[in-house]
Chains A and B, each alone.
Chain A
């Protein structure tokens, strides 16, 4: 419940604040959001597995986000733009894994298996 309230608050804040992001940074931002989502789902999964640690969660959230953006930036600088895809694939795969794990936990906890 709380995460949902937080998300809605964030969306409302974003709509009100209208933070301007330069279009040239949109690429980094996109990957960073992917990483953030990955962290969030990772947190949900950890909660379900009863090993959620808020310190781990928050450091993971920020480090993943910043790292993702950094990898894309590095790829741009080095002329290896496909590095962008590496970041997307890495975080995308983790996102899918987390969601799959969450699904499995829900199944297990409700004895649907």
Chain B
């Protein structure tokens, strides 16, 4: 079982979330806190750069902003992303805005990754895994007043980052909030050629607060406003004029000491995303189009934690109602505009119950069981969109219902020098709104227009995983493997009968269930503590993805490798990294993927800390190599040499 966290904040507080995270998969620290797994750029790093630290995560890039997290080689459709348990859904039919793009590093304490079917309690549809973005909360009774700031500069693309935050905390009240601003111009690929339309700009403001109502009860709230403007997507035909999110929640939390019942948290939340694409700055636009999209989600969850004997139990009830609407208007010069509804105002009401139990069988052995059952009702609220889809699916219904579930078990043995675990699970997911009701969504990856299929069956998968860890003084070895065996795997299938809408598209694909597919991932990490001040590690990984005919699935990582030397002398930390991908042997040619070449780059990083100030500097892609990874949409090149420097202070 792989669980990872990325920590992000300085102000790491005695919050319940962090203690629990050790039992979960991976964590990345987003805050300014030192140590732990985190981006070397500290809080100045973007969320995407923090996510990159998670070993099960890859990122699909369509530009230099808003990368799409891929977990265990599975994209958004098979991944659940939540913000402190809140469900939030992207509003762009072209996936330009994964929900991780609507928060900033400063908003977060950490990012928690649960690999595979053992998702966080609010996760649904998480076959590949689930991400929960943990918000940063000052908490009660920490430092009375704190403030911090960040300044960052990157040479490639002239990225400027400014951030400031402050926190006030007493025994009865806390609030912490901040603002940040990022702006980048076009970046240059290795060799110095400028990548047009790769700029972006983002502002973010947030505030968290809490009131203690009684000794054990408190109310906590969240407010995040995030707005990206002038975002270029060099891999796509369009840019984004505005991507804006308003995220808010209010929670009541009750905690007990010395009782089986440990805590009970109930949260209500609402978020709204507006996404507006823009092609007015592009040359050679054949037909100008307006493509706005909106997403509204309101929901609640109620999470109970209890410890009883050898059992550590959680029970969660959640409910959310999401609405997705997107349309497209095309303006051929002089002629009548052409209008279509691309997401027919789909209302999704989803409710579910999740249970998990961690059982300590003995000091060395433990068993973790988790499961979730969800019921979902979908309704197409837009008549025009429904009528249009009815052309392709005569007699389709206006409302659909799905039941999905997941169950997983993992058994772990920890011995003096070794630890191993084996796990198994089964889970299903309902088709996404794009897969079920999307309408002529052009996919620039394979140059097909995609039409959703309201008659899709749920996709399901059996997961098997295992890990082994060997640790002695000065040496550690980690082996991880996971396999996902899908039934009714959902993927676009070419429909020669249909005519493409997008000029220059190859044709139309309609989402379909294929009988089975397999995705498997292996990784190995070996780390040596060579001296007190020097650590060295090597890492490698390999993945395969196959459809029912044994053909390669698209966007599956090739053989990856990397080695890192880390130095720590006093307050100086340094890191030299060499990483690369082998040439992609198995690529999804059947699905329009082209082979990506092998590459390797070298990065150097260093940081020095004074009492209140940390200075970080480094060079990425030291040799200014021009390269493209398998996950770079339409083979847009990665950044060339990039020198960065940033300054964080806290007081």
> Do A and B interact?
no
Interface, chain B (partner A; CB < 8 A)? none
